[in-house]
Amino acid sequence: MKALSARAFESVTQLFHSVSGIRLGPAKQALVAGRLQKLAQEAGEPDVERYVERVVGGHAPAEEMTRLIDRLTTNETYFFREPQHFQDLARRAAALPRGREFLVWSAASSSGEEAYSAAMVLADQAPAASWQVIGTDLSTAVVDAARRGLYPVERARMVPPDYLKRFCLKGQGPHEGSLLVARDLRARVRFETANLMQPVNALPEFDVIFLRNVLIYFDNDAKARIVRHVLARLKPDGVLYTGHAESISSLGLPLRTLATAIHTHG
């Protein structure tokens, strides 16, 4: 296959930025080229430059754009990443008044490990409460994977052993080396596609929102825009969890920090 030119790389990354808000710089050219080569091959197009022209020019089927966005979106995660947030969530869940509905949003849920981790905490700490977890992601492919709830066992290295026994099933036969989130837990977690660069008014207001390890991919203007969209879905007394490696203090947002990477309305 023909190598990806600088011109094609620029046109694809500009398109990707306009849709997702994520900027892919020159350091990502090899990664982008590899994924585009595979996409072009799958689409039956031997010339990657022609494939790029078709997609960017709007001459390819609409679903090809979705596939391109899916492939260029990075989705690497595991269960109970940054455990301090789950400890805070456990304290809040344990103190829930009886009869109050409690809603959690995993706003950049990737393949679902974060959302299911939150669900395990809620099922453990507030078994009689009314609660639900909603996960959203830009990528339709990872949303579909999250709904299945099937994962390599190595992603569960941080899951407490008791939770593994109660909330996960060990794969057998062709699924050896995998785990499946139990059906009862999956039933209380909902996954949808959503672009955080746009308002998400169809969602309810949440008690807790996870927005972690996604802002690092955006410039400051896009970060502020995303956080404002997310804050619009946070209850007045709700909390926002951000990644420990992500700083939002310079964005001029109406936030008050309660603890490291834990915020509420300012």
Q: How many CB atoms lie within 10 A of CB 164?
A: 16
104-144 pLDDT, tens digit each: 999 999 999 999 999 999 999 999 899 999 999 999 989 99
HSE at residue 209, side-chain half, CA atoms within 13 A, is: 28
Both tokens assigned to 111: 């393949």
pLDDT at residue 232 is higher than 90: yes
Say if CB 242 and CB 136 are below 8 A apart. no
Measured at the CA of 246, the angle between CA 181 and CA 260, to 5 degrees, comes to 85
Say if CB 5 and CB 49 are below 8 A apart. yes
Query: Which amino acid, 207?
Result: D
Which residues fall within 8 angstroms of residue 253, CB to CB, at 6 or more apart? 224, 227, 228, 231, 266
Residue 131, strand partner residues: 102
Who wins on pLDDT, 186 or 266?
186
Catalytic residue among 70, 81, 92, 137: 137
- The CATH topology of domain 6-72 is Chemotaxis Receptor Methyltransferase Cher; domain 1 (1.10.155)
Task: Identify whether 35 is a catalytic site residue.
Answer: yes
Q: What pairing do the DSSP bridges indicate for beta strands 178-181 and 150-152?
A: antiparallel
Domain map (residue ranges) of the chain: 6-72, 83-265
d(CA 253, CA 266) in angstroms, rounded, equals: 8
Say if CB 226 and CB 21 are below 8 A apart. yes
The reported pLDDT for the residue numbered 224 is: 95
182-209 pLDDT, tens digit each: 999 999 999 999 999 999 999 999 999 9
Catalytic residue among 23, 35, 71, 166: 35
d(CA 82, CA 29) in angstroms, rounded, equals: 30
38-92 pLDDT, tens digit each: 999 999 998 999 999 999 998 888 778 878 887 887 666 899 999 999 999 999 9
- The CATH topology of domain 83-265 is Rossmann fold (3.40.50)
Q: Which residue has the tokens 């899951």?
A: 159
The reported pLDDT for the residue numbered 53 is: 93
Dihedral, 153, 154, 156, 158 alpha carbons, nearest 10: 150
Domains 6-72 and 83-265 share a fold: no
Residue 83, strand partner residues: none
Q: What pairing do the DSSP bridges indicate for beta strands 130-137 and 262-265?
A: unpaired
Enter the pTM of the model. Answer: 0.82
The reported pLDDT for the residue numbered 146 is: 97
The reported pLDDT for the residue numbered 247 is: 85
HSE at residue 140, side-chain half, CA atoms within 13 A, is: 7
Task: Identify whether 237 is a catalytic site residue.
Answer: no
pLDDT at residue 1 is higher than 60: no
